[in-house]
Amino acid sequence: RKEVEQDPGPFNVPEGATVAFNCTYSNSASQSFFWYRQDCRKEPKLLMSVYSSGNEDGRFTAQLNRASQYISLLIRDSKLSDSATYLCVVRENYGQNFVFGPGTRLSVLP
């Protein structure tokens, strides 16, 4: 089983739609969780960290369920500019490296 798994995608949604990304991780000792976005042929950029209480940044909401080892990202009112690959990232603790999921590609259609 891979350490971090994500929905295989791609997701093709119309503008204004709500889209949810799912991610599961295998290491129950993981402590830090993030969502990154990567545009085509560009470097990944940090979208948001994910906290146990859940957190929101504008149209983006991230949730963490430690018991289920599951992380989610919800995008509301999707824009054309949201089209990208969304990467789930997990880290056990400071002494360990970051583990990236394979990513889920999103295309927001006009």
Interface contacts to other proteins, rule CB under 8 A: 32, 34, 41-46, 49, 87, 94-103
Cα dihedral sign for 82, 87, 93, 95?
A: negative
* Distance from C-alpha of 92 to C-alpha of 90, rounded to nearest angstrom: 7
Least distance to other proteins from the beta carbon of 37, Å?
11
Tokens of 97: 């490296």
In the complex, minimum distance from the CB of residue 56 to other proteins, in angstroms, rounded to a whole number: 18
Residue 25: other Cβ atoms inside 10 A = 22
Other beta carbons within 10 Å of 6: 21
Q: Of 49 and 72, which has the nearer Cβ to other proteins?
A: 49
User: Taking the complex as a whole, how short is the minimal distance between the CB of residue 39 and other proteins, in angstroms?
Assistant: 11
Length of the chain: 110
Would you say 60 or 100 has its CB closer to other proteins? Answer: 100
74/102 with CB nearer other proteins: 102
